[in-house]
Amino acid sequence: MVKIPHKNQTDEELMVQIMDHHSESAIIELHRRYSVRLLGYFIKMLNKDVDLAQDFVQELFLKILEKKHLFDPKKKFYTWVFTIASNMCKTAYRSKGRSVTFEPTTHDHILPQHGENRAEKALFQTALEVSVAQLEEHHKQAFVLRYLEQFSLNEIAEIAEISIGTVKSRLFYATKKVTQDLAAFDPSFESTLFKLS
């Protein structure tokens, strides 16, 4: 019997090995595949708290081992793992409330001689981060998953365990709120902040 390397196995096949044999090598392979993206998601959802986001990634993979029996091999692994991640953020948001410290991304490495566009892009990004951090948790989740993590509407519905209509409604109000905040930041942001070429 030829043993298939973990690198050539799908996410679902690796989860089956974890479920049947508690395979540590399989969970390490899944960590290699998804830890970067999950860390980026946690950083955006936890208002740029990198240390907390690192702890959440570690805790998430321990939860995968703990709740491996809840995984349905017929479904996609990445939607299941982002569901766990979203629930962890929801719990953190409810426990800490809306008074979450926000540390906007520093763009010191972007020098003025690199062009106005890059500076304006950095400025726009800072303004966007501030605005997204102040969104309601369910609006923030929909906005980050759609426009920062590029998930489809169906995947967001599966991750958040809501209907597609609810996803569209949340995205509408989230984008409406952010545009209002950007307008408050710079009334002419349409012409200045959106020079992203």
Give dist(CA 131, CA 164) in Å, integer: 24
Nearer to other proteins, 97 or 108 (CB): 108
**Structure tokens, 92:** 């953190």
* 44: contact with other proteins by CB under 8 A: yes
* 20 in contact with other proteins (CB under 8 A): yes
Considering only residues 93 through 152, tell me which ones interact with other proteins, judged by CB under 8 A: 105, 121, 124-125, 128, 143, 147-148, 150
Q: What is the torsional sign of CA 140, 141, 147, 153?
A: negative
Other C-beta atoms within 10 Å of 179: how many?
Answer: 13
Give the residue carrying structure tokens 């799908």: 10
Residue showing tokens 């936890």 = 46
Tell me the per-residue interface mask from 172 to 191 with other proteins, x by CB under 8 A, - otherwise: xx-xx-xx--xx-----xx-
Give the span between the Cα atoms of 77 and 156, in whole angstroms. 14
Q: What's the token pair of residue 78? A: 């990445």
**Which residue of 70, 111, 184, 196 would you call a contact of other proteins, by CB under 8 A?**
196
Binding site for other proteins (CB under 8 A): 20-22, 24, 27-28, 31, 35-36, 38-40, 43-44, 50, 53-54, 57-58, 61-62, 65, 105, 121, 124-125, 128, 143, 147-148, 150, 165, 168-169, 171-173, 175-176, 178-179, 182-183, 189-190, 194, 196
